[in-house]
């Protein structure tokens, strides 16, 4: 059942911060009433909000990019889109994290001649990326611990979009306050917080706001509706709403309210801390991540923030996500050399079936080329298992470790004779080359398939 929204009036936000305060809808406190929004028809000439390149963080966001032409193209495309959104700092940050698949997304969301000039090349790059890097291959099931219902559905979608447990919990904690995790939540805030005309929809309370329906300064709700129409998506679904949010949240990350001290009265502990995307990507503090999402993505009104409720919900969700999922080092806790191995996994293309160990060797070679102090493993999967893998205790599992079995039950003769090997990349995931493609599986799924021909073990080469 949709939660009732209080009609109690509150003081409008100061004009200096009004333009950035577009979120922060707390369904238990926001001064508005639910209403159907299906008839809202924003004018086509309404001002477009800033729209930059889509970013899909890889686990905790890989810190390294491909070298050579492919890497340069990815960086350039993401940086150009960030510049189009008016943020030089954002351009630098995005260029440091870009992947080839982001180039097309960046181009599609950019304006003017960039589209006409680069679109054909972008299509070629994406095709190349799919072949060389194995992008988008395999069907992955991500653990949601003991979460159930809509919470589990949202958590799975967020993790599929690249968020780890800490960040997914932070987002869900905010969504509990924003919409009660109701993907059909609709609300009207006309004149009660910021703008004479202000409407919101869905899990994230995507917002249209301005002086009227035909004069908008923020049009996230309209953009979402149009995106659903253009792409054949059902706007009432969790999947559509998370996908739309994930493709643009990094370019919409603004730290101005935080740095101005606007939220200092409600979050004094975080007032002097950095709030950029690098901080968001790397934090392992659920409460801080919850604040960062609220302050820099939701950018809610301080008067209705109710951060205590957001913190409580996020911490509960995080505990549930971690429950029953086993252990294994997180990407954010790894050393630079370990991260170099994990990063190299996504930049290393697949090998023919039966040559999984060759892929592992190629990954380590790429990591070493990129400056990591690593020992390159040799031999087949069975050799690597007996030479390097010494533990089957999940408490010992670290980012960059080989994960191997000496034999595979079923499958090919090669698998039965030589086993199978992959690499643990953190946050409960294993990457491996199999049947000519690079796949990413949860550790539990990987073990369920391969841990039958001998106890799976892990360890570093050398």
CA gap 9, 372 in Å, rounded: 58
CA gap 40, 200 in Å, rounded: 11
Contact (Cβ atoms closer than 8 angstroms) between residue 360 and residue 300: no
- Residue 5: inside a domain: no
**Both 171 and 38 in a single domain?**
yes
Q: How many CB atoms lie within 10 A of CB 236?
A: 13
pLDDT of residue 304: 87
Last residue of a domain, one of 292, 322, 352: 322
- Residue 19: inside a domain: yes
Residue percentage of the chain with pLDDT more than 70: 68
Q: What is the mean pLDDT of residues 210-224?
A: 95
- With bands split at pLDDT 50, 70 and 90, how would you rate the model's confidence at 134? very low
Contact (Cβ atoms closer than 8 angstroms) between residue 92 and residue 98: no
Domain count of the chain?
3
Query: Out of 34-38, 130-134, 404-408, which region has the weakest mean confidence (pLDDT)?
Result: 130-134
- What are the two backbone dihedrals, phi and then psi, of residue 195, each rounded to the nearest 5 degrees? -120, 155
Is the Cα torsion angle 119, 124, 126, 129 positive or negative in sign? negative
Alpha helix segments (H runs only) across 85-207: 88-95, 100-109, 113-133, 149-160, 165-179
**Both 204 and 256 in a single domain?**
yes
In angstroms, how far is CA 225 from the centroid of its own chain? Answer: 21
CA atoms within 13 A on the CB side of 286: 23
Q: Which domain holds residue 438?
A: 331-459
**Both 310 and 199 in a single domain?**
yes
- Residue 3: inside a domain: no
Q: Which helix (H) or strand (E) holds 363?
A: helix 356-369
**Both 86 and 128 in a single domain?**
yes
CA gap 146, 172 in Å, rounded: 15
**Both 362 and 247 in a single domain?**
no
Q: What is the mean pLDDT of residues 248-275?
A: 96
**Both 309 and 336 in a single domain?**
no
Q: What is the mean pLDDT of residues 163-185?
A: 95
- Residue 8: inside a domain: no
Maximum Cα interatomic distance, the chain, rounded to a whole number of Å: 72
- Residue 62: inside a domain: no
**Both 123 and 171 in a single domain?**
no
pLDDT of 203 over the 90 cut: yes
Q: What is the mean pLDDT of residues 269-281?
A: 96
**Both 268 and 363 in a single domain?**
no
Of residues 32, 48, 2, 3, the one with CA closest to residue 252: 48
Last residue of a domain, one of 296, 322, 348: 322
- With bands split at pLDDT 50, 70 and 90, how would you rate the model's confidence at 148? confident
pTM: 0.49
**Both 271 and 290 in a single domain?**
yes
Q: What is the mean pLDDT of residues 79-87?
A: 35
CATH of the domain at 419: 3.90.1720.10
Partners of residue 420 on adjacent β-strands: 405
CA gap 406, 415 in Å, rounded: 9
pLDDT of 74 over the 80 cut: no
- With bands split at pLDDT 50, 70 and 90, how would you rate the model's confidence at 24? very low
- DSSP annotation string for 51-86: --------TT--S----HHHHHHHHHHHHHHHHHTT
pLDDT of 388 over the 90 cut: yes
**Both 343 and 419 in a single domain?**
yes
Of residues 353, 341, 346, the one with CA closest to residue 433: 353
> Could you read off the pLDDT of 413-461 as tens digits, one per residue?
889 999 999 999 998 999 999 999 999 998 888 887 887 777 789 999 9
CA gap 456, 441 in Å, rounded: 15
- With bands split at pLDDT 50, 70 and 90, how would you rate the model's confidence at 42? very low
Sheet of 197-201: strand order equals 186-188, 197-201, 206-212, 215-219
pLDDT of residue 444: 83
**Both 216 and 279 in a single domain?**
yes
Partners of residue 283 on adjacent β-strands: none
Of residues 165, 448, 153, the one with CA closest to residue 322: 165
- What are the two backbone dihedrals, phi and then psi, of residue 204, each rounded to the nearest 5 degrees? -90, 0
Q: What is the mean pLDDT of residues 104-117?
A: 39
Q: What is the mean pLDDT of residues 11-33?
A: 49
3-class SS of residue 197? strand
**Both 250 and 173 in a single domain?**
yes
Mean pLDDT over each residue of the chain, to the nearest integer: 76
């Amino acid at each position: 059942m949709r939660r009732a929204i209080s009609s109690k009036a509150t003081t409008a936000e100061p004009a200096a911060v009004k333009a950035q305060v577009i979120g922060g809808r707390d369904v238990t406190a926001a001064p508005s009433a639910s209403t159907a929004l299906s008839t809202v028809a924003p004018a086509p000439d309404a001002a477009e909000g800033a729209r930059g390149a889509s970013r899909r963080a890889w686990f905790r966001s890989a810190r390294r990019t491909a070298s050579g032409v492919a890497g340069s193209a990815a960086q350039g495309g993401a940086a150009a889109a960030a510049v189009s959104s008016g943020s030089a700092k954002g351009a630098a940050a995005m260029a440091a994290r870009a992947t080839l698949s982001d180039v097309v997304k960046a181009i599609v969301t950019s304006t003017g001649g960039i589209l006409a000039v680069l679109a054909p090349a972008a299509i070629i790059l994406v095709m190349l990326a799919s072949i060389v890097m194995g992008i988008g291959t395999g069907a992955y099931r991500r653990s949601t611990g003991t979460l159930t219902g809509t919470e589990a559905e949202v958590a799975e979608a967020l993790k599929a979009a690249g968020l780890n447990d800490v960040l997914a919990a932070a987002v869900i904690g905010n969504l509990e306050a924003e919409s009660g995790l109701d993907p059909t939540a609709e609300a009207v805030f006309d004149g009660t917080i910021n703008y004479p005309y202000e409407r919101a929809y869905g899990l994230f309370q995507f917002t249209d706001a301005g002086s009227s329906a035909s004069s908008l300064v923020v049009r996230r709700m309209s953009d979402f509706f149009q995106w659903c129409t253009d792409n054949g998506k059902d706007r009432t679904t969790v999947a559509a709403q998370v996908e739309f949010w994930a493709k643009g949240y990094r370019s919409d990350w603004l730290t101005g309210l935080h740095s101005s001290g606007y939220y200092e009265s409600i979050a004094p502990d975080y007032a002097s801390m950095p709030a950029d995307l690098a901080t968001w990507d790397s934090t392992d503090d659920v409460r801080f991540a919850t604040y960062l999402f609220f302050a820099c993505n939701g950018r809610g009104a301080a008067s209705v923030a109710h951060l205590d409720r957001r913190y409580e919900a996020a911490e509960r969700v995080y505990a549930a996500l971690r429950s029953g999922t086993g252990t294994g080092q997180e990407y954010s806790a790894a050393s630079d050399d370990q991260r170099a191995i994990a990063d190299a996994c996504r930049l290393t293309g697949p090998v023919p079936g039966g040559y999984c160990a060759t892929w592992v060797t190629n990954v380590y070679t790429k990591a070493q080329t990129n400056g990591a102090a690593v020992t390159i493993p040799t031999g087949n999967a069975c050799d690597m298992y007996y030479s390097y893998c010494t533990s089957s205790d999940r408490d010992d599992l670290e980012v960059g470790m080989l994960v191997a079995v000496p034999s595979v039950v079923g499958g090919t003769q090669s698998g039965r004779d030589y086993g199978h090997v992959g690499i643990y990349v953190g946050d409960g995931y294993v990457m491996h080359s199999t049947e000519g493609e690079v796949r990413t599986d949860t550790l539990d799924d990987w073990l369920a398939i391969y841990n039958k021909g001998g106890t799976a073990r892990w360890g570093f080469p050398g």
